[in-house]
Structures are given as C-alpha cells and as structure tokens.
Amino acid sequence: MKMLKEIIETIRSLPSDLHGNDFLLTWEKSTEELQKILWTAEALKYLRDHNISPRIFDSGLAVSIFRDNSTRTRFSFASAANLLGLQVHDMDESKSQIAHGETVRETASMISFLTDVIGIRDDMYLGAGHTYMQEFSAALKDGFQKGVLPQRPGLINLQCDLDHPTQSMADLLHLKNYFGSLEALRGKKIAMTWAYSPSYGKPLSVPQGIIGLMTRFGMDVALAFPEGYSLVPEITQIAEKNAKESGGRFQTMHTMEEAFAGADIVYPKSWAPLSIMEQRTQLLKKNDQQGLTELEKTCLLNNAEYKNWECDKKKMALTKNGSALYMHCLPADISGVSCEQGEVQAHVFEKYRIETYKEAGYKPYIIASMIANSRLPDSAAALEQFVKNGCPRVSSN
C-alpha cells in the first residue's frame, strides 16, 4: 500500500491537460502527460491485483468502433471500460444508418447521449484514419458546446494510419518495468526493424508509434527497413526532433544486422511500403477489388525479395550480450508455426513468448488510464478514495 501511495503522489505532481480531452497521438501530449498515463495505469493494475474495486462509473457506455479486425485491442478496450464500471457497446457500422448516408457529425451525436468514452480503430486508409478521428472529435465538441450532449465523451485512438498509442504506451510501460524505471531507458538501444511477412497491407502505425514515443525518453532508436519501405516522412521528422530534445538518438539504416548490433531491445515487425499503402487507399475508396488483388500480388512479390529480414538466432547474437529483449505487438508471423517463413523464427519467439504476453497485458490498464484521466478532473484524488473505501472487487462471501 505504501508503494501505491507513492504512485498516487507522483500522479498528483504531474501537470496535465488530459481532463476533458482526447488521446489521439502520443506526440501531441507532453512528457508529463505521458508519464501520468503510465503511472495511473500502474495504480489501476495495483488496485485490481489487490482486489480493490476502481469503479469510477456507476453507469454509462463505452462505445467502440472497429473499422479493421482486432483481438488484443478490442478486448483490451472492453476490459478497461468494464474495470471502470462502464458497459461496452461495440458498434457495427454495417448495422447502423451510416450505410444510408448518416454523417460523421450525426453519428457522433447519436451514440453519445449517455456515453463516457469512444474508442476508434481506423487504420485501413493511409491519410484518412486520423482525419476521421479529428472530424469525430470536432463533432463531439460541437455537440457538447451547443447543448446537444450533456457531457463530452473522451475519444481514444485505438489505432489509426499514423499512430497506435495504446500499443506503444503499453510497450513503454513494459519496458519501464522490465528495466526498472523510465530513467533506466535512457541510452538503451531499441531496434525497430521491418521483418518479412507472407501477407501484405500491414499498417505503418506500430513502427511510427514506437519511433514517435521512445525518442521522447532518451532512447537510442534505430529504424531499419529495406529500400522502399520507409515510413511517413513527417513522423520520422518528429522522431528526429524528439531525440534531440530528450538527449536520445534516432537513426535509420537498411540492414537488420546493423540495427540489431548492440541493441538492448529488438522489435521486428512487418509493414507495407508507403507507396503501396497510398495505392491501396485509393483502390479501397473505389472498391476496386481487381486492382486490390493485383496490388497484393505485386506487394507479396516485393516482400519475397527480403525473406532474409527474419529475426533469428544469428541476428539475436549480435545484440547486447546476445540477450536483447524481443518485443512484438502480436500476432507475430512465426516461421514454421503460423506461416512457412515469417518475421521471427519459432525458437526465438518461444524464448520470449511469455514476455510478449506480459507486454500485451499492460494495454487494458493503459486504456483504462486514458479513460480515467479524460473523465476525471483529479485522478489522484479518485485513486485515494478507492484506497480509503477499500471496496473489494470480488466479494469473499
């Protein structure tokens, strides 16, 4: 309990403008706000681990809108909302009036009368996902200011074309606890590298989220990819700026081996070439199925040129003391397990499998923290009240 009280005091000391605002991109938030999200997630995890209820809400909705498939993030959002006392409604757009021309502004208002938070995943269209969330956010603000909505729900980015903040923040919390503190991450080298996959069209948001966040905390971030697989230029520029301001380092290279050399952490993850994602967006908008089929063939042939971009025992031996921490957002393409050849060899993945599961396990608490800080003017006071009340989450009777 002493540790929890120290966490709460840390939360109280961190200035933030999180209350009443959305969480869309990590690089829009201050370092103090990011830390507040991390520490609140730690506090919520502590409460649940010690059977203390952190139900902020007696009633209310948490609405999720998934425009792409999801397992971890979908259940993490549902778990986070339920932990805080909200009922989850997963909105199926195919069963809504959106199919009949309902506008974003109207949808935002109609689903928000008794809603406290809305989570959106929209990563299919490069140049559109974040824009959609901004439009949705503006509609919520307008509805509240004009008296249509009794309150303004918080909006959380569950993955867009630019960033995957709930994933990267969960990754950061995992690193914080694995190495002991945020300060311990300074100077640590993380290799964010492209890896071969037998599938195409994977979003750029995970690698962009990693380089955009880890450079905030003084880390040595090495981004590696084959020629033609670069990320959105504006985000690599943000990473460069972040590294300069934090005293860290950001560099790009074109071999996996160079990125792995001396690394403390490796994050081999496939993503589609920027040009492919741009073409894919246009074809999706036109519903050009034949064009999408041809584009997929082209992309898969291109991917196949780089099958040697695989996280294997030989490359792991190049890392610091040959024992870098392996990370992945999951599901990984595991050679000989989920595919014939993929991002990581089976024996490497199996060695770190439990750590990747622990990594994923922080996401519900990160999302719960984002919800809590968006809706509560003083999250530290609320946490103190939970401790004082000591209401058990699971009754012993």
Give yes or no for residue 99 having a pLDDT over 80: no
Mean pLDDT for 342-349 is 98
Per-residue confidence (pLDDT) for residue 272, from 0 to 100: 93
Residues 121 and 299: their CA atoms lie apart, in Å, by 24
Residue at 396 is within a domain: no
Per-residue confidence (pLDDT) for residue 2, from 0 to 100: 86
Residue at 397 is within a domain: no
Q: In what order do the strands lie in the sheet with 189-193?
A: 249-253, 220-224, 189-193, 265-268, 325-326
Same domain? 277 vs 205 = yes
Mean pLDDT for 114-137 is 94
Same domain? 244 vs 343 = yes
Per-residue confidence (pLDDT) for residue 95, from 0 to 100: 65
CATH code at position 284: 3.40.50.1370
Q: What's the pLDDT tens digit per position in 376-387?
A: 999 999 999 999
Residue at 70 is within a domain: yes
Same domain? 130 vs 143 = yes
Q: How far is CA 336 from the centre of its chain?
A: 28
Overall pTM surpassing 0.85 (yes/no): yes
Contacts of 12 (CB under 8 A, 6+ apart): 380
Residue 98: pLDDT band with limits 50, 70, 90: low
Same domain? 159 vs 223 = no
Same domain? 296 vs 313 = yes
Mean pLDDT for 116-136 is 94
Per-residue confidence (pLDDT) for residue 348, from 0 to 100: 98
Give yes or no for residue 96 having a pLDDT over 80: no
Q: What's the pLDDT tens digit per position in 9-34?
A: 999 999 999 999 999 999 999 999 99
Same domain? 201 vs 157 = no
Same domain? 200 vs 136 = no
The crossing angle, in degrees rounded to 10, of helices 233-246 and 205-214 is 20
Same domain? 369 vs 348 = no
Residues 240 and 261: their CA atoms lie apart, in Å, by 20
Same domain? 312 vs 337 = yes
Percent pLDDT > 90 in the chain is 88
Mean pLDDT for 79-97 is 88
Task: Specify whether the CB–CB gap between 202 and 270 falls below 8 A.
Answer: yes
Same domain? 290 vs 333 = yes
Structural domains in the chain (count): 2
Same domain? 193 vs 115 = no
Percent pLDDT > 70 in the chain is 98
Residue at 395 is within a domain: no
Per-residue confidence (pLDDT) for residue 227, from 0 to 100: 94
Q: What's the pLDDT tens digit per position in 250-292?
A: 999 999 999 999 999 999 999 999 998 999 889 988 889 999 9
Residues 34 and 121: their CA atoms lie apart, in Å, by 20
Residue at 177 is within a domain: yes
Mean pLDDT for 353-369 is 98
Residue at 115 is within a domain: yes
Mean pLDDT for 49-58 is 95
Q: What is the DSSP string of 132-191?
A: HHHHHHHHHHHHHHTTSSSS--EEEEEEESS--HHHHHHHHHHHHHHHSSSGGGTT-EEE
Match 């003084």 to its residue by tokens. Answer: 218
What is the extent of the structural domain holding 298?
166-360
Residues 218 and 182: their CA atoms lie apart, in Å, by 9
Residue at 267 is within a domain: yes
Residues 172 and 213: their CA atoms lie apart, in Å, by 8
Residue 102: pLDDT band with limits 50, 70, 90: confident
Q: What's the pLDDT tens digit per position in 187-241?
A: 999 999 999 999 987 999 999 999 999 999 999 999 999 999 999 999 999 999 9
**What integer best gives the mean pLDDT of the chain?**
95
Same domain? 311 vs 272 = yes
